[in-house]
């Protein structure tokens, strides 16, 4: 079984190496979108399912609390954290609307939606992107595989960071590095390079 374990590490390293070659321009662009929103008084909403819900919460917590340095709190809300809201929307309407209904209430022009989906096909994330555009928000899509339905919804204002892999776990492992890159770039832009 240790060969399997080593295989996971090897595949993760391989995917990260390929991502390090392909993704930096998209990550930098995404960070600029987020910084522009934050300096204009906007906030960042985040969403995703399963492991990507964890990533959505991981990112919002690092803005609200801190990443690696002492700095003021930054405005971010994970749309994945309130079971009463999520279960009531899913129960009364549809699970596909659990993020979009929140965005219609919380999102404002100039805010950013970080939409996370390894397949790009999770309906509630797709509908979240549609709702964000209705609210004149900008979208940063964090995806993988062929980008799925999410990709076709993005405008020229948005950016997609698509991990070059078809394996959900490997994509998620790169998403975490991307989230930390975004936090670092935001801190550098707002509070100076250390």
Ligand X SMILES: O=C(CO)[C@@H](O)[C@H](O)[C@H](O)[C@H](O)COP(=O)(O)O
- The residues binding ligand X (CB under 6 A) are 49-52, 117-119, 122, 125, 168-169, 172
Which 3 state secondary structure label does DSSP give 159?
strand
* Binding-residue total with Zn ion (CB under 5 A): 2
**By the 8 A CB rule, do 26 and 175 touch?**
no
Which positions ≥6 away from 14 have C-beta within 8 Å? none
R_g of the chain computed on alpha carbons: 16
118 is in an annotated binding site: yes
Q: Is 50 annotated as a binding residue?
A: yes
Cβ closer to ligand X: 80 or 119? 119
Nearest of 12, 20, 16, 49 to residue 148 by alpha carbon: 49
**Is 122 annotated as contributing to ligand binding?**
yes
Q: Which is nearer to ligand X, 66 or 180 (CB)?
A: 180
Of the CA atoms within 13 Å of residue 175, those in its CB half-sphere come to 31
Per partner kind, with CB cut-offs from 5 to 8 A, the member of Zn ion, ligand X, none near residue 36 is: none
- The DSSP secondary-structure symbol of 111 reads -
Q: List the one residue from 36, 51, 95, 121 that touches Zn ion (CB under 5 A).
A: 51
- Does the protein bind Zn ion through residue 54 (CB under 5 A)? no
Structure tokens that stand for 173 in this block: 């492992």
- For ligand X, give the closer residue by CB, 116 or 183: 116
**Residue 91 assigned as binding residue:** yes
When the beta carbons of 42 and 144 are compared against ligand X, the nearer one is: 144
Cβ at position 12, least distance to Zn ion in Å: 12
Confirm or deny that 97 is annotated as ligand binding. no
The four Cα atoms 164, 166, 169, 175 give a dihedral, to 10 degrees, of 30
Residue among 74, 77, 104, 75 nearest 89 (CA): 104
Q: Closest distance between ligand X and the C-beta of residue 175, in Å?
A: 9
SS3 172: helix
Q: Which is nearer to ligand X, 31 or 172 (CB)?
A: 172
Is 146 assigned to a binding site? Answer: no
Binding site for Zn ion (CB under 5 A): 51, 172
């Amino acid at each position: 079984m240790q060969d399997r374990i080593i295989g996971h590490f090897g595949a993760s390293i391989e995917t990260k190496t390929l991502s390090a070659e392909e993704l930096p321009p998209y990550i930098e662009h995404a960070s600029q979108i987020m910084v522009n929103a934050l300096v204009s008084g906007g906030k960042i909403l985040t969403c995703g399912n399963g492991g990507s819900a964890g990533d959505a919460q991981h990112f919002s917590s690092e803005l609200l609390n801190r990443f690696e340095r002492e700095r003021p709190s930054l405005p971010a809300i994970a749309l994945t954290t309130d079971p009463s809201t999520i279960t009531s929307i899913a129960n009364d309407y549809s699970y596909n609307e659990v993020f979009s209904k929140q965005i219609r209430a919380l999102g404002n022009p100039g805010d950013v939606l970080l939409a996370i989906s390894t397949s790009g096909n999770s309906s509630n994330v797709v509908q979240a992107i549609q709702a964000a555009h209705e609210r004149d928000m900008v979208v940063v899509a964090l995806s993988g595989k062929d980008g799925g339905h999410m990709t076709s919804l993005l405008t020229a204002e948005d950016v997609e960071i698509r991990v070059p892999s078809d394996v959900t776990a490997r994509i998620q492992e790169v998403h975490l590095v991307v989230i930390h890159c975004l936090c670092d770039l935001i801190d550098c832009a707002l509070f100076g390079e250390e």
